[in-house]
Structure 1
Amino acid sequence: MESISSNLTAVREQIAEACRKAGRREDEVTLIAVSKTKSAAAIREAWDAGQREFGESYVQEFLEKVEAPELSGLPVSWHFIGHLQSNKVRQIVDKVTMVHGIDKVSTAKELSKRAGQHDLTVDYLLEVNVSRESTKYGFSPDSVLQAAEECFALPNVRLRGLMTIASPAPSEARREFAELRQTLDKLRQNAPEPSLLTELSMGMSGDFEEAILEGATMIRIGTAIFGWR
């Protein structure tokens, strides 16, 4: 059985190869280890192997890990990557580096409000349903442009870019990743601070190489690091 450390090494090598093919630098892509359903001990093993960015999807599980003795005192960079309901924002707002899955303007407004209460500035991404599947959350590529207009003026938060979960087929996924990149380009055209819109969170264990070829700046890898859930 492969160890988390050796899995991380293999993933990093694949990232390096994908960046080489894309003509990009490795430091342009942030690896987020998706640790949902995994133990604090497994996260600690990944940390000891040099991983610093971790992604969680469930609020209660995330809060338990933040307090876990195995991770006590470690400056873990937590990304909340799951669907976030407005009524749960207050529980995580002061504990996350970035919120990836904002799919309603009302949730962005709640994030702004709660960040203000903590005197924080919180980075977030808008989720886009580029595969147009009814089972997925997210704005359509067209409606996210209008939603962003409402979000730009919110205090105590910074819209940094877009995220998506693509179709299972890699060929479809690559087309969808390209569409997300094009959507971000459109978003920058009307943004008050286009230089802030740098992030494309896209690509998972089965398609992160395609995502890197299409400009991903953050990839969310779970299975390839921690094994099957």
Structure 2
Amino acid sequence: MPIDEASQRLADVRARIARAARIAGREADAVTLIAISKTHDADAIGPLLRAGQRAFGENRVQEAEGKWPALREAAPGVALHLVGQLQSNKAEDAIALFDAIHSVDRPSLVHALARAMDKAGKRPACFLQVNIGDEAQKGGCAVADLPALLGEARAADLPVQGLMCVPPFDLEPAPYFALLASIARDHGLGGLSMGMSGDFETAVTIGATHVRVGTALFGARA
């Protein structure tokens, strides 16, 4: 992707975030735009880096390990977010590489991350993933199980910043975003990781603090 196209895509997404924030009476800089770079190689990511984007999201630890150390050397200040499912045996690798983990969804992972953080002396921000649509094929804890999971995370001294969700793709997302926002408020959590290329503006109007945008920035995957 040429640098001018990357700059235009980035400017367009940022303008849409700003417009949605304005409608909701919010400041645009209260929303972190995470460019979802999973499956994209360094050549595809480079133009967005040169255009000024600094927050990126990856689904897999191993894929991120293969491309981000070199990219970070060339572009200081990058924040990496893990947005995909994480196996407990990859906790140490995830803590070493990522600045935030959005997919904490079970007690075993809470404890694996707590041990890894203690060992590394590094405490990335964490989001608890909620299976907001109660879909069997998706990760995330059930809504009913969230209070117990949050209690375990707080007892383990995980730096829980907020909640994350992926609503059902074929339904209106607003009710699911509103439910996540309500649950977060009930538990004193300010972070809301919600909204992707097709619905991030809706998410911003409902209070998203982090939106995870791939296609609108990189174009459709082959």
179 and 96 in structure 1: CA distance in 2 versus 1, 3 angstrom threshold: same
Q: Match for residue 219 of structure 1? A: 211
Q: Match for residue 163 of structure 1? A: 164
TM-score (norm 1): 0.91
* Counterparts of 1:87 and 1:184, CA distance in 2: 28
Moved more, 117-126 or 205-214: 117-126
Match of 1:62 among 61, 64, 79: 64
Q: Match for residue 186 of structure 2? A: 186
Matches within 5 A, 1:21-60: 21-60=23-62
Q: Match for residue 102 of structure 2? A: 100
* Counterparts of 2:118 and 2:96, CA distance in 1: 10
Give per-residue Cα distances to partners, 1:104-154, cap 9 Å, x unaligned.
Answer: 111011111011111122210100011111111111222111211111111
Aligned letter for 2:60?
Y
Contact 1:44–1:71 at 8 Å: present in 2 too? no
Contact 1:56–1:79 at 8 Å: present in 2 too? yes
Matches within 5 A, 1:69-218: 70-73=71-74, 74-155=76-157, 157-169=158-170, 171=172, 173-188=173-188, 197-218=189-210
* Counterparts of 2:216 and 2:62, CA distance in 1: 24
Two-structure CA RMSD over aligned residues (Å): 1.5
Structure 1 gaps of 5+ residues are: 189-196
Contact 1:161–1:200 at 8 Å: present in 2 too? yes
* Counterparts of 1:169 and 1:111, CA distance in 2: 33
Alpha-carbon offset, residue 170 of structure 1: 5.8
Aligned letter for 1:72?
E
Contact 1:94–1:118 at 8 Å: present in 2 too? yes
1:4 paired to 2:3 = no
Give per-residue Cα distances to partners, 1:164-186, cap 9 Å, x unaligned.
Answer: 00122462x10000000011112
* Counterparts of 1:215 and 1:170, CA distance in 2: 19
The 4+ residue runs of structure 1 with deviation greater than 6 A are none
Report how many residues are paired: 218
SS in 2 for 1:38: coil
Contact 1:35–1:43 at 8 Å: present in 2 too? yes
Identity rate of aligned residues, in percent?
Answer: 39
SS in 1 for 2:141: coil
Contact 1:141–1:180 at 8 Å: present in 2 too? no
TM-score (norm 2): 0.93
